[in-house]
Structure 1
Amino acid sequence: MPSLRNYDLFISHAWKYNEEYYALENLLSSADMFKYRNYSVPIHDPVIDPNTKVGQEKLADLIEAQIRPVQCVLVIAGMYAAHRFWIDKEVAIAQSYNKPIIGVIPKGQLRVPESVKFAAHEMVRWNTDSIISAIRSRAL
């Protein structure tokens, strides 16, 4: 049997809303016949203050460094994303590098933020097979 491809991913997230991030990470980690490396860093660095101009520039540089090498960006399409400056920033960086964007709709959610829907190359429900299939078909 040929070896599995290892996918390099960035999972978009908000520091205030990281439960879904960890749930998605666990879903991907427990999937059979799927290997990936997660380039996103979900833990807040207290040295960086995202409420200051210098902190915002530093954080934007760090996010860009995390997105640049990946093959695909996953955006959890929680409604908080509609009001999240940083999620929009992550999407813009992904677009600037022509990275495929997959929007993942959380369980039980009926509405999807327009910004995520329009940016995504594909929208999928919170289902292991759907998410992995989208990654396999869209990853660079």
Structure 2
Amino acid sequence: MYRIFISHSWSYSDQYNKILSFLKEEIGLFYNHSVPQDDPIHTNGTDWDLQNAIEAKVKGCSCVIILAGVYATYSKWIQKEIAMAKKYNKPIIAVECWGAERTSSVVKESATTIVGWNTKSICNAVKKYSV
């Protein structure tokens, strides 16, 4: 079974939900290591607690999917998640959103592979790079 962590911002939950639908359509069953908005990580309110909880999720996943939107360049959490993925040798699948004029060089430079915004590209990358 694929164990997938999808790095995302709750501000862009539509994109996160669309990736979930791509995965369900093509792969079927998988374990979602992500932190959805409707099931947040409960901590004592410190970044350290949240970071440790996210790191545990990344450590246990097969691959990390990161949306390569330009917002990712400025997100401290995505940068931390990239560092976590590298620490545990997790493949990073960067997804370039359909119609995006600008994408994050930070994400693309860290990626194991860069794919387009469609079911086949994302799911084929998950199947190929998941360990």
Give yes or no for TM over 0.5.
yes
Shift of 1:111: 2.1
1:85 and 2:76 matched: yes
Choose 1 or 2 for highest CA Rg.
1
Is the CA contact 2:43–2:49 (under 8 Å) kept in the aligned structure 1? no
Structure-1 residue corresponding to 2:34 = 40
* Distance across 2 between alignment mates of 1:46 and 1:89: 19
Describe how 1:82-121 pairs up with structure 2 within 5 A. Answer: 82-121=73-112
Identity %: 37
Residues 24-63 of structure 1: per-residue CA shift (max 9 Å, x gap):
11221122x54311111122457554xxxxx110110010
* Distance across 1 between alignment mates of 2:10 and 2:44: 13
The range that moved more, 83-92 or 10-19, is 10-19
TM-score, reference length from structure 2:
0.90
Structure 1 unaligned segments of length 5 or more: list them: 1-5, 50-54
Let me know the Cα RMSD of the aligned residues: 1.6
Shift of 1:125: 0.4
Which letter does structure 2 place at the counterpart of 1:64? E
Which letter does structure 2 place at the counterpart of 1:38? N
User: How many positions carry a matched residue from both structures?
Assistant: 129
